[in-house]
Amino acid sequence: MKKTAISLAIGLMVYGIAAAQSVVPPEVPDNLKVHAGEKVFIHAHAKGVQIYSCAAGTDGKYSGTLKAPKAELFDERGKLIGEHFSGPTWRLNDGSEVTGKMVAKHDAPKIGAIPWLLVTVTGHKGTGALGVVTTIQRVNTDGGLADPAKMCDTSKNGTESESSYSADYYFYAPRS
């Protein structure tokens, strides 16, 4: 009985997140389109930073390389629903979590913004809304590129810098 009540509560929470959002998929370039058998399940707006580490590349030149994102995720009403961090990983307040791998990217239409991405989910943890997610799109990006004004050379080797960004994440699940 208790297990059924918990399952029902989780189901209602998942339904509440999805039902509270009548999400229309974003317009994206062809290489960022999801499979026809998927539908938008959750939309989250992210605000945070992209963390860069200064290091020498294989060519010996120093540059800021992406270490990790660190952002809060908000629903369409502005309510904090989760976080996004290294992995890349997305975790909702309901305890569900996904990790993913980029499969395609496209330059952002906005100058100075990080690319738009198509991510395939490679792992799930916990139970909750993200438990059914298979694909993620990052679109409508603003900012987030390494700041070229912040010098990255031998004297800065190993140091980190942060660049503020915002983006929209669309989480897709198979059509039922």
Band of pLDDT at residue 111, cut at 50, 70 and 90: very high
**pLDDT for position 34:** 97
Sign, CA torsion 139/97/42/83? negative
Q: What residue type is assigned to position 24 of the chain? A: V
Element holding 161 (H helix, E strand): strand 160-174
Please say if the pLDDT value at position 21 is more than 70.
Answer: no
Q: From CA 75, how far away is CA 78, in angstroms rounded?
A: 5
Band of pLDDT at residue 57, cut at 50, 70 and 90: confident
Mean pLDDT of 67-93: 97
Domain positions in the chain are: 2-174
Band of pLDDT at residue 169, cut at 50, 70 and 90: very high
**pLDDT for position 63:** 84
**pLDDT for position 155:** 87
Please say if the pLDDT value at position 8 is more than 60.
Answer: no
Label each residue of 81-102 as H, E or C: EEEEECCCEEEECCCCEEEEEE
Q: What is the pTM of this model?
A: 0.85
DSSP 8-state code for residue 26: P
Tokens of 10: 């989780």
| Pair 26, 170: CB distance under 8 Å | yes
